[in-house]
C-alpha cells in the first residue's frame, strides 16, 4: 500500500481563521466577566446568558480548533450533544437551588 496524498488537486486547502476566532473568544470572555455586575440580582437571567455564551464558545472551539467544522456533521453532533445536555442540567440545578 503506497502512501499517496488523498487530497483533490483542484480543491485548495483552506486554513481556519484562528486569529479571528481567538479574538471572538476573548471578547466573549470579557463579556462573561461583566454580566453578573450588569444584571444584578436576577440570577436566572445571568445564568442563562452565561450558559448561552458558553455554548457559543463551545461551538467555536469545536468547529475551529478541534477541526470538527471540516469533518462529518455526525462528529459535531456526537461531541456537541453531551455538552448541551450538561448545560441544561446545570441550568436546572441552578434554578432549583435558588
Question: Domain segments of the chain: what residues?
Answer: 18-97
Q: What sections of the chain are H helices per DSSP?
A: 18-39, 43-60, 73-97
pLDDT tens for residues 16-54? 688 999 999 999 999 999 998 888 788 888 888 998 999
- What does the pLDDT read at residue 1? 46
Task: Please say if the pLDDT value at position 84 is more than 70.
Answer: yes
Please calculate the CA angle 62-37-44 and round it to the nearest 5 degrees.
65
- Quote the pTM value: 0.60
Amino acid at each position: 500500500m503506497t502512501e499517496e496524498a488523498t487530497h483533490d488537486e483542484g480543491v485548495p486547502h483552506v486554513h481556519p481563521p484562528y486569529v479571528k476566532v481567538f479574538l471572538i473568544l476573548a471578547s466573549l470572555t470579557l463579556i462573561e466577566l461583566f454580566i453578573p455586575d450588569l444584571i444584578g440580582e436576577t440570577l436566572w437571567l445571568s445564568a442563562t446568558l452565561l450558559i448561552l455564551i458558553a455554548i457559543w464558545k463551545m461551538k467555536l472551539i469545536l468547529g475551529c480548533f478541534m477541526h470538527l467544522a471540516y469533518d462529518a456533521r455526525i462528529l459535531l453532533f456526537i461531541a456537541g450533544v453531551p455538552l448541551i445536555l450538561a448545560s441544561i442540567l446545570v441550568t436546572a440545578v441552578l434554578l432549583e437551588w435558588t
